[in-house]
């Protein structure tokens, strides 16, 4: 049984800001906005507060909404976007990305968040699968998509409308689709997780409630009234390191910061020394990153030269926080709130999380199950297991996706009696901490990026000399995991360098294997004719492949 948290319980009680009610199979926040548009509209009240800092560009909330309103009017009046139509965003992190997202919502459209790091063919496939009618892109992605044969209109981020024309934001219900984010399974083909307005709103409110709880705990620790602490605290400021097309970047950082009047500092590309400079200059208070980012900052020759005293909340997203890194963060930021969690695109973000004392009490876990989320552990037949037993993790809640868009077959496979089958293997203890021990889905998480082995294997297997190929992840202190490829080839007709060059020519950079192993004999297969990947991985780790 999960231990009660009196602060969370009070926040969810009748009459409280996060009062809970029942809506069908889910618990919902009783006073939640009907759609994400209403959440965004409330942020207009922050007016002249700083919102976005990106290089030499600085935007207040008022300036941001002026630009979003201009684009929304253009989408409705000139592009004739109808409610529920899909508009893709295909660009690197930038103010224009966020302006585009808000404008699409204000216009009643569905924001399709395309992985801008993919090849032209992969990006085009995602755009096509989402029935997209218009694309917002930067010049680099526009050129790439043109080369891939994209046949729908593209608006460049440099050509956004500047004049505000009158428009009326269409009404959208909580069940209507607000956004699509892409994820993959064992087939390797990207799937569009369709997220409703209710899912996005509740994902944001889950994070808001956690922030309020932390704030109240801080006030209790300092022995002062909450309002006194609030008046003494500067505007929150987050360094945005995650891609905005990920749920971590879009929901947990962008939308949550916007809904609470926070400031966002953007980087167009990751650099540890630059991150330290921005933390000092902009007084960044919150940072979430993958292990590699932390190590890059700690190893920077500029680390000791920077004033990092503003940094109060540090978290790891996209993968587990290694114990050695936990210790290093705690040593360098002894007064900081450290956090980690477990989540997925299909649940609009986090399923579990823990911060501060709750995290330090059990740092090997992936956080505690969120109050608004249900989790159960099941066996191969779908029967619920006893507490502490290991099995597949199933979850459900108001943040759950509606479906894989346009893919009823994969949707049917993903659900069972209203539960989402995560494909991850784990257990839950008596205090509601969840431990993720394995993945049924064949995926490697390297530097916070999801790399799907089946997709990589399909690309690598196109080389004429390759008879068979398998890929797998191995532990890496800096990246969390790194990808390795093992090949069975015809004779001695190709070298490791040739295989690596082929991989670089056919895959996005983050999907290229970090090492290549050429097998001296055929792969061992199981009864279904599939490569016994765990044996190949063991050989690689022993160095006798």
Q: pLDDT band at residue 18, thresholds of 50, 70 and 90?
A: very high
Average pLDDT, the chain: 91
Average pLDDT for residues 295-324, to the nearest whole number? 87
Number of C-alpha atoms within 13 angstroms, CB side, residue 100? 32
Q: What is the pLDDT of residue 127?
A: 97
Q: pLDDT band at residue 436, thresholds of 50, 70 and 90?
A: confident
Lowest mean pLDDT among 328-342, 413-427, 429-443: 429-443
Quick check: 377 and 392 in contact, CB under 8 A? yes
In the beta sheet, which residues pair with residue 468? Answer: 488
Average pLDDT for residues 33-59, to the nearest whole number? 97
b/e 97-110 (16+ beta carbons within 10 angstroms → b): bbbbbbbbbbbbbb
Token pair 């009404």: residue: 171
- In sequence order, which ranges of 110-196 are alpha helices (DSSP H)? 120-129, 139-147
Lowest mean pLDDT among 151-160, 261-270, 350-359, 488-497: 488-497
Q: Does residue 432 have a pLDDT over 70? A: yes
Q: Does residue 207 have a pLDDT over 60? A: yes
Q: How far apart are CA 202 and CA 436, in angstroms?
A: 24
Contacts of 305 (CB under 8 A, 6+ apart): none
Q: pLDDT band at residue 13, thresholds of 50, 70 and 90?
A: very high
Quick check: 87 and 111 in contact, CB under 8 A? yes
Q: What are 313-327's pLDDT values in tens digits? A: 999 865 567 777 888
DSSP β-ladder status, 449-452 and 480-489: unpaired
Q: Does residue 310 have a pLDDT over 90? A: yes
More confident residue, 232 or 484: 484
Average pLDDT for residues 527-543, to the nearest whole number? 80
Q: What is the pLDDT of residue 56?
A: 93
Question: What contacts 24+ positions apart, CB below 8 Å, involve 123-127?
Answer: 123/90, 123/148, 124/148, 124/149, 124/150, 125/189, 125/190, 126/88, 126/182, 126/190, 126/192, 127/88, 127/90, 127/152
Q: How far apart are CA 79 and CA 74, in angstroms?
A: 6
Quick check: 234 and 282 in contact, CB under 8 A? no
Average pLDDT for residues 171-186, to the nearest whole number? 87
Q: Where are the beta strands (DSSP E) in 45-176?
A: 50-54, 57-60, 86-90, 110-113, 132-137, 154-156
Average pLDDT for residues 123-131, to the nearest whole number? 96
In the beta sheet, which residues pair with residue 28? Answer: 21
Contacts of 411 (CB under 8 A, 6+ apart): 403, 404
CA distances to 64, 412, 519 from 188, in Å: 37, 17, 24
Average pLDDT for residues 167-187, to the nearest whole number? 86
More confident residue, 145 or 219: 145
Set out the domains of the chain in order of their start, with CATH numbers: 55-197 (3.40.50.980), 443-542 (3.30.300.30)
Q: What is the pLDDT of residue 125?
A: 94
206 closest CA partner among 466, 28, 332 = 28
Q: Does residue 527 have a pLDDT over 50? A: no
Q: What is the pLDDT of residue 186?
A: 40
Q: What are 235-266's pLDDT values in tens digits? A: 999 999 889 999 989 999 999 999 999 999 99
Q: Does residue 387 have a pLDDT over 80? A: yes
Q: How far apart are CA 300 and CA 286, in angstroms?
A: 19
Average pLDDT for residues 514-535, to the nearest whole number? 80
Q: What is the pLDDT of residue 526?
A: 62
Q: How far apart are CA 394 and CA 415, in angstroms?
A: 9
Per the rule left: phi > 0, alpha: psi between -120 and 50, beta: everything else, 296 is alpha
Q: What is the DSSP letter of 350?
A: E
Average pLDDT for residues 341-369, to the nearest whole number? 90
Average pLDDT for residues 516-541, to the nearest whole number? 82
Q: What is the pLDDT of residue 326?
A: 86
More confident residue, 310 or 532: 310
Q: What are 391-429's pLDDT values in tens digits? A: 999 999 999 999 999 999 999 999 999 999 999 888 999
Average pLDDT for residues 192-204, to the nearest whole number? 97
Q: Where are the beta strands (DSSP E) in 311-348?
A: 313-316, 337-344
CA distances to 125, 391, 414, 480 from 454, in Å: 17, 23, 18, 20
Q: Does residue 508 have a pLDDT over 70? A: yes
Q: What is the pLDDT of residue 493?
A: 73
| SS3 state at 50 | strand
């Amino acid at each position: 049984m999960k231990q009660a948290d009196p602060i969370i319980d009070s926040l969810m009680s009748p009459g409280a800001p996060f009062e809970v009610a029942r809506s069908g199979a889910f618990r919902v926040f009783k006073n939640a906005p009907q759609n994400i548009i209403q959440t965004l509209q409330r942020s207009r009240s922050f007016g002249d507060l700083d919102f976005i800092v990106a290089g030499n560009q600085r935007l207040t909330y008022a300036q941001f909404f002026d630009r979003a309103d201009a684009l929304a009017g253009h989408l409705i009046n000139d592009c004739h976007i109808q409610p529920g139509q899909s508009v893709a965003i295909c660009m690197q992190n930038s103010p224009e990305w966020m302006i585009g997202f808000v404008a699409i919502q204000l216009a009643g459209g569905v924001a399709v968040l395309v992985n801008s790091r993919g090849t032209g063919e992969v990006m085009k496939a995602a755009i096509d699968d989402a029935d997209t009618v218009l694309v917002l892109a930067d010049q680099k992605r526009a050129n790439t998509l043109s080369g891939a044969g994209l046949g729908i209109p593209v608006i460049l981020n440099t050509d956004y409308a500047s004049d505000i024309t009158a428009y009326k934001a269409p009404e959208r219900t909580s069940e209507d689709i607000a956004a699509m984010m892409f994820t993959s399974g064992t087939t390797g083909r990207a799937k569009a997780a369709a997220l409703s307005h209710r899912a996005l709103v509740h994902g944001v409110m889950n994070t808001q409630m956690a922030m309020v709880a932390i704030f109240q705990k801080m006030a209790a620790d300092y022995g002062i009234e909450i309002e006194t602490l609030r008046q003494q605290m500067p505007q929150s400021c987050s360094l945005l390191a995650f891609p905005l097309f990920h749920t971590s970047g879009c929901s947990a950082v962008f939308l949550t910061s916007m809904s609470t009047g926070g400031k966002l500092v953007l980087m167009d590309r990751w650099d540890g020394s630059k991150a330290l400079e921005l933390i000092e200059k902009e007084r960044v208070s919150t940072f979430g990153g993958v292990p590699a980012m932390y190590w890059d900052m700690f190893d920077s020759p500029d680390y000791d030269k920077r004033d990092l005293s503003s940094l109060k909340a540090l978290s790891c997203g996209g993968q587990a926080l290694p114990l050695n890194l936990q210790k290093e963060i705690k040593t360098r930021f002894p007064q900081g709130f450290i956090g980690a969690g477990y989540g997925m695109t299909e649940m609009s973000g986090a399923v579990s999380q823990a911060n501060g004392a709750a995290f330090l009490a059990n740092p090997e876990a992936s956080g505690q199950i969120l109050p608004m989320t249900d989790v159960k552990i099941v066996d191969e037949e779908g029967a619920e297991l006893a507490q502490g037993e290991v099995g597949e993790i199933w979850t459900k809640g108001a943040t759950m996706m509606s479906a894989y868009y346009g893919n009823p077959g994969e949707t049917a496979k993903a659900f069972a009696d209203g539960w989402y089958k995560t494909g991850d293997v784990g257990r839950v203890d008596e205090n509601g901490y969840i431990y993720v021990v394995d993945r049924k889905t064949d995926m490697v998480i390297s530097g916070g990026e999801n790399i799907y082995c089946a997709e990589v294997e399909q690309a690598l297997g196109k080389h004429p000399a390759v008879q068979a190929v398998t890929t797998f992840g191995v532990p890496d202190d800096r990246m969390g995991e790194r990808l390795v490829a093992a090949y069975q080839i015809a004779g001695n007709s190709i070298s490791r360098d040739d295989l690596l060059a082929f991989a670089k020519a056919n895959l996005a950079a983050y999907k290229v294997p970090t090492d290549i192993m050429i097998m001296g004999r055929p792969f061992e297969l199981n009864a279904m004719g599939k490569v016994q990947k765990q044996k190949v991985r063991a050989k690689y780790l022993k160095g006798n492949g």
